[in-house]
Amino acid sequence: MKHDILAMAPIPAAQMAQLEDSYTVHKLWKSKDPEALLNDVKDSITGMVSVYGQPVSARLIKALPNLEIIAHYGVGYDNIDIEAARAQEIIVTNTPDVLTDDTADIAMGLVLGVMRRMVEGDIYVRTGQWAKKGDLPLGRCLRGKTMGIVGLGRIGQAVAKRAEAFGMKVVWHGPRAKKGISWPHYNDLMNMVEITDILMLTCLYSPETHHFIDSAVLKALGHQGVLVNVARGKVVNEDDLVEALENVDIAGAGLDVYENEPDVPSALCRLDNVVLQPHQGSATHETRGAMAQMVVDNLRLYFEKVEVLTAV
Ligand code: 8YV
């Protein structure tokens, strides 16, 4: 029997082909009338491929009475109503590890982008300003600066190693100290921010971290401070961030994630002291392929009644 899978958004073609070989795949994003599609297939769906940006709400979960597994294409699964999934005994899997290095690379790219004015520099050359105005104003050195990391999970630790390789000091904040971690842990976010030059967000999004970074934190980061966010947009109060950047309460920001993706406040786009990326921490052929393969493998193992790779 072929299982029916609801795919909320595309995954790379090679892995989509594997899904289509094994299952009947209903592509929600291709449907002109997603509600009607859901109504037609709701009783037959046993598996789902979910993607960040597509909410898997309690309402959707309840509407799929035979759903058994949600294989999420991504590490952060805050788009899924996990309580509703648990209530229906639905297994949820994600794709950790394979995207750690790429996301840490983008994080460091944003640090370099802001500190060394790399995007401004690119525009300066392309628009002929170099020839007209002379050298770009000076940037700032990474060596000797302190990076304060919020959330020292897999990605946070990978960023920490990179930051050390650039000659930076690393400190971190999280709800609990961790065994085997030598970077100094701060229980109190504000205490850490006061000694931080670059505030790096790599934490989970949860009710506890909603708008964790607000104007008080940004003021404590200070005029020379830089915020980099590769976690989730909603960890930061975006209005407070815009205000802090406009008032130069902080020196700059590097952002890969936003509160309402893909909408980015026009105020952010007008500022020179920010470097913006379109949520592309894991966006390489290699990593997206590896993530999609985990999705396919988790579904296969589940339907073969073998333990899945990465249940959350
Ligand atoms: C997205 C991410 O999942 O893994 C995460 O948590 O935020 C990203 O890797 C990716 O954009 C796929 O939608």
pLDDT tens digits, residue range 185-211? 999 999 999 999 999 999 999 999 999
Q: Is residue 71 part of a domain?
A: yes
Q: Is the pLDDT of residue 117 over 90?
A: yes
One domain, residues 260 and 195: yes
Residues 186-199 as b/e (b if ≥16 CB within 10 A, e otherwise) read beebeebbeebbbb
110 and 247 assigned to the same domain? yes
pTM score over 0.85 = yes
The verdict on 111 and 57 lying in the same domain is no
Active site positions, annotated? 232, 261, 279
| CATH code where residue 30 lies | 3.40.50.720
Name the CA dihedral angle for 25, 27, 32, 33, rounded to a multiple of 10 degrees: 70
User: 122 and 16 in one domain?
Assistant: no
Examine the domain organization and report whether 158 and 27 are in the same domain.
no
In-domain check, residue 301: yes
CA of 53 to the centre of ligand 1 (A): 9
pLDDT over threshold 90, residue 142: yes
181 lies in which domain range? 100-276
Is residue 229 a part of any domain in this protein? yes
Claim to verify: residue 243 and residue 140 sit in the same structural domain: yes
Residue 45's H or E segment, with its range, is strand 45-51
**Residue 147 domain flag:** yes
Cα 132 to ligand 1 centre (Å): 42
Q: How many helices (H) and strands (E) does the chain have?
A: 13, 12
Q: pLDDT tens across 279-298, in order?
A: 999 999 999 999 999 999 99
| 268 found inside a domain | yes
CA of 283 to the centre of ligand 1 (A): 8
Q: Based on the domain organization, do 148 and 253 belong to the same domain?
A: yes
Is the pLDDT at 262 greater than 90? The verdict is: yes
Check whether residue 33 and residue 165 sit in a common domain. no
183 and 40 fall within a common domain = no
Same domain, 163 and 84: no
Inside any domain, residue 77: yes
What per-residue confidence (pLDDT) applies to 1? Answer: 82
Residues 162 and 220 in one domain: yes
Evaluate whether residue 312 is within a structural domain.
no
Ligand 1, atom 4, lies closest to the CA of 74
User: Does the CB atom of residue 279 touch ligand 1 within 6 A?
Assistant: yes
Sorted by sequence, the CB contacts under 8 Å of residue 75 that are 6+ apart come out as 94, 95, 96, 99, 155, 282
The answer to the question of residue 179 being in a domain is yes
Count structural domains, the chain.
2
Residues 270, 189 share a domain: yes
Smallest CA separation from ligand 1 atom 5, residue? 74
Q: What are phi and psi of 72, to 5 degrees?
A: -90, 135
